[in-house]
Structure 1
Amino acid sequence: MLMLGGALGIAIGIWLAAQALSQSWLYIFMVVPFIGLFVWSLYTGIRLWRGDSYGRKWAPILFASQIPIIATPGATVHWFTGAQFGPALKLAGQAVEATLSANVGANGQFFLASGGDQTILGINLFAAIALFCLVRSNKSFKPKPLRGSA
């Protein structure tokens, strides 16, 4: 999913960069970090697929960073490569709403001082399961038995 989502994210990022450049060249500074993140995901996915230690080291970090879904009136943090599926709680004043969302593709949302009066807290179950499976199958994360002690 890192490879597919990374490739989709790069394509979407290039399209957004072209759209942003038609308005002002300054908008490119908002798009380039996302393209870089998706390039890193694609590169890490390829290295993981090949079985390299680089992929085994960085893929869990990329998946772990995709687990939280957080949106507050002051900031929003959410991104995924490939797929996103998970529950979320929307808190607006006294009202609480439980939601379940599913998305395929690539997405990145990072805002500071974003508008809105609700708080959203959720998790990306797909990323959590991918992280669990990756850590479980990765030999470098397994403890080594002690030798020579009785």
Structure 2
Amino acid sequence: MAAPGTEVVIVPNAVRTGDITLRGAASDPHARARIRAALRRLPQIDRVLDDRTLTSLHAGGKLGDLVAEARPPWGFALGEPPSGRWGGAHGSLREIKVPLLLSGAGIRPGLRPHRPRLIDVAPTIAALLGTRPPAQAQGRDLTGTHR
């Protein structure tokens, strides 16, 4: 039996991911390992990310002790997927890498941007418009993608 004040709190923070915070006896390193192993055995869970993995992904410091990713079609959203099918989601490692397609005036056909990131979109659009990127922009103009 768990001691009073022991909690495993799961907060859905995206369709596919659940943020897990451990409190009381559940936060002990041995208990954490047992909880992680139990979650990994569930057929609905694709993977469980721990501190080491979250740090390597440069995850924000506001996450809990573990993050669980649901295996499609399951998720942490409150609704059930439509019978026999499932749609897109966001927030898991499956969706972390997506293609970036640029097309139109000023874009050189066939060139692939090197490791584009979401934060590169605003500086790239600014360059295409012939203006400076926003002062707070952290990304880069995707060099070579425009004339």
Q: Is TM (by shorter chain) over 0.5?
A: no
Larger Rg: 2
Q: TM-score, normalised by structure 1?
A: 0.25
Which is strand-richer, 1 or 2? Answer: 1
Which is helix-richer, 1 or 2? Answer: 1
Structure of greater relative contact order (alpha carbons < 8 Å, 6+ residues apart)? 1
